[in-house]
């Protein structure tokens, strides 16, 4: 009994913090889904599933693709048309497995996200506690669960929570000197999201740093090569695409399809679409205030969307600045992981849309931000209050069909 009591004492803070925020967000999403007006361009008819009376607001946008994959598998219409091939397999396959037990793939997706978010919060708390102390660990947990885009950890049918828990498990296992298990956890991560390079490089860098650095590597063991197993998730996915569709990189090409328009090239790298929106934003805001439709038939919708892009771009720049502290305080291994993870959306998104939820995986940045806020209680409180307000607003918008990340 004493052992169980001690375990609960160690886990209580992250569990209680996560569940408290979860209760609030479930209420917010339920009220928004049932009582507030939806985005005019989003389908009004709800998709029924077990528990949809309470959880229907968590199933939006890409959730439809994940549900389709879980039920029917993958197909391709070629590199110029949208298809499920754009979505990595770990999350929808998990939905299929859990859905077989529950009898409903969508409900399975909601529960998988919730459980993964809870476990990720606990792992983050333990990881931070061992490096930065209890105060920083608590603040780090609050920064994560109150992050403006944190609702993706509480029930949204998206792969971000699964990816985060797999990444955290990989680094925690590596820190406990289990490189093979770390590599296997990393394989789940690279099969869940298209940022395999960050996971693999991060694990290798942390391992080498633990062994003395590149110049004085010592004590390497054959088992240390186990971190390279993290590549197998991406390799297996590419192998499947090659054998099924004849193109191991089809998932990259599908991103260019009309409607997604996320192809690589100067237009994406230099965020031409983003700056075009910034150019039009003053006119859309003016029309929103006056009720005019001179510059766009839906000026409020365009204004809100663009303001969301600005928020995501600002957060990305802030996290990039934090990587300097990650390098100094947590080691260059975690610095490599954080920089590579942030570089992918920086280079790969045309307008910063989606970056908000991608930042959830930058857990070292949350930790070092906590060390900056802890000595400044007023700033800490203000940051958490503003973050919680944005989280509430954006979770409500998501439930009402606004594409906010």
- Does residue 1 form part of some domain? no
For residue 215, the 8-state DSSP code is T
pLDDT above 70: residue 309: yes
Tell me if 121 is assigned to some domain.
yes
Q: How many domains does the chain have?
A: 1
Q: How confident is the model at residue 261 (pLDDT cuts 50, 70, 90)?
A: low
Whether 4 is in a domain gets the answer: no
pLDDT tier at 5 (50, 70, 90 boundaries)?
Answer: low
What confidence score (pLDDT) does residue 30 get? 97
Q: Is residue 405 part of a domain?
A: no
Residue 249 to residue 88: CA distance in whole angstroms? 12
Q: Any idea what DSSP says for residue 246?
A: S
The predicted structure's pLDDT at residue 153: 98
Q: How far apart are CA 343 and CA 274, in angstroms?
A: 17
Query: Is 257 inside any structural domain?
Result: yes
Q: What is the dihedral of CA 17, 21, 26, 31, to 10 degrees?
A: 150
For residue 309, the enclosing domain spans: 11-399
pLDDT in tens, 149-207: 999 999 999 999 999 999 999 999 999 999 999 999 999 999 999 988 899 999 999 99
C-alpha angle with apex 225: 224 to 228, nearest 5 degrees? 125
Question: Of 347, 386, 371, 344, which is closest to residue 265 (Cα–Cα)?
Answer: 347
Across 33-47, 140-154, 217-231, 258-272, which has the greatest mean pLDDT? 140-154
Within a domain: 3: no
Consecutive H or E run containing 122? helix 105-132
Which of the four pLDDT bands, split at 50, 70 and 90, describes residue 6?
A: low
Q: Which residue shows structure tokens 């506690």?
A: 129
Inter-residue long-range contacts of 373-380, CB under 8 Å, 24+ positions, other chains counted: 373/139, 373/143, 374/135, 374/136, 374/139, 380/139
Mean pLDDT, rounded, for 89-102: 97
Is 109's pLDDT higher than 90?
yes
Tell me the three state secondary structure of residue 193. coil
Q: pTM of this prediction?
A: 0.94
Cα-based angle 178, 184, 185 (whole degrees, multiple of 5): 85
Residue 90 domain flag = yes
The token pair at 60 is 């939006």
336: in domain: yes
**Each residue of 270-286: b (16+ CB within 10 Å) or e?**
ebebbeebeeebebbbe
d(CA 403, CA 248): 30
- pLDDT given at position 311: 96
Burial bucket for residue 238 (CB in 10 Å: 0-12, 13-18, 19+): middle
- pLDDT at position 316 over 60: yes
pLDDT band at 222; cut points 50, 70, 90: confident
């Amino acid at each position: 009994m004493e052992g169980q009591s001690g375990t609960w004492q160690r886990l209580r803070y992250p569990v209680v913090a996560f569940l408290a925020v979860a209760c609030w967000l479930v209420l917010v999403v339920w009220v928004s889904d049932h009582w507030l007006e939806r985005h005019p361009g989003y389908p009004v008819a709800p998709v029924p599933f077990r528990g949809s009376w309470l959880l229907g607001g968590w199933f939006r946008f890409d959730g439809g693709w994940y549900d389709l994959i879980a039920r029917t598998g993958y197909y391709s219409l070629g590199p110029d048309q949208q298809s499920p091939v754009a979505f990595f397999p770990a999350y929808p396959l998990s939905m299929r497995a859990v859905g077989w037990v529950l009898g409903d793939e969508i409900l399975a997706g909601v529960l998988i996200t919730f459980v993964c978010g809870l476990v990720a919060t606990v792992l983050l708390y333990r990881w931070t506690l061992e490096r930065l102390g209890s105060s920083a660990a608590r603040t780090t947990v609050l920064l994560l669960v109150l992050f403006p885009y944190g609702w993706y950890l509480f029930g949204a049918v998206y792969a971000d929570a699964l990816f985060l828990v797999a990444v955290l498990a990989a680094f925690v296992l590596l820190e406990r000197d289990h490189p093979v298990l770390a590599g296997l956890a990393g394989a789940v991560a690279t099969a869940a999201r298209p940022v395999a390079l960050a996971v693999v490089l991060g694990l290798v860098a942390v391992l080498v740093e633990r062994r003395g650095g590149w110049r004085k590597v010592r004590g390497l063991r054959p088992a240390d090569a186990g971190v390279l197993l993290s590549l197998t998730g991406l390799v297996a996915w590419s192998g499947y695409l090659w054998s099924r569709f004849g193109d191991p990189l089809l998932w990259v090409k599908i991103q260019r399809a009309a409607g997604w328009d996320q192809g690589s090239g100067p237009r994406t790298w230099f965020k031409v679409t983003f700056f075009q929106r910034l150019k039009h934003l003053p006119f859309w805001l003016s029309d929103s205030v006056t009720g005019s439709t001179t510059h766009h038939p839906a000026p409020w919708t365009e204004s809100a969307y663009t303001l969301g892009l600005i928020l995501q771009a600002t957060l990305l720049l802030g996290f990039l600045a934090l990587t300097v502290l990650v390098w100094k305080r947590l080691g260059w291994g975690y610095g490599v992981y954080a920089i590579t993870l942030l570089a992918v959306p920086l280079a790969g998104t045309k307008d910063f849309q989606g970056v908000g939820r991608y930042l959830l995986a930058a857990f070292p940045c949350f930790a070092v931000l906590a060390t900056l806020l802890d000595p400044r209680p007023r700033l800490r409180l203000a940051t958490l209050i503003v973050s919680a307000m944005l989280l509430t607003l954006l979770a409500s918008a998501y439930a009402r069909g606004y594409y906010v990340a």
